[in-house]
Structure formats: structure tokens, C-alpha cells
Amino acid sequence: MLNLVRGNRSFCCRLGHEASLVRFDPSGERFFMVVNYKVGVHQPEDAKLLFELDNGSHKRILCASPGDV
């Protein structure tokens, strides 16, 4: 994650696989990453994993959109 105000990197971690999709929700309070058949929802400050959705059929996720709960 890059801090665009200060111009430095605020967080870095190595992933097992490359994320095929990264999107922020409309409020900017969370972002989600799609890796193969899993969706992880994270906090933007430290990329802490809030929860993870697992596609039980093990088919790749090709698109996703944030929504209200």
C-alpha cells in the first residue's frame, strides 16, 4: 500500500499468488483482493484481513463488486 499524502510505502507483504482483482469499497474503509477462488476483505491502513470468502466450487472468480449488507 502506498501513502499518497506522504509519498511512501505504508505496508508491504508477499502473496502466494498474484491478485487478479483489487478494488476499494465506495466508502474507502475496506478493499478486497481476489486470488483464484478466494476473496479477502482487508483494512487499508495495515491490510489486516477482516474476513475471507471461499468459493467452494474452486472455480476462478473473474469479477466482483462491493455491495451494502
Percent pLDDT > 70 in the chain is 75
Return the pLDDT at 50: 92
Q: Look up the pTM and report it.
A: 0.69
pLDDT tens track for 24-47: 888 888 888 888 888 888 888 778
Q: Taking residues 64-69, report their average pLDDT.
A: 70
Question: 29 vs 16, which has greater pLDDT?
Answer: 29
SS3 state of residue 23: strand
pLDDT over 70 (residue 2)? no
Cα four-point dihedral sign 31, 15, 40, 61: positive
Domain boundaries defined on the chain: 13-62
List, in order, residues 6 or more apart from 23 with CB less than 8 Å away: 31, 32, 64, 65, 66
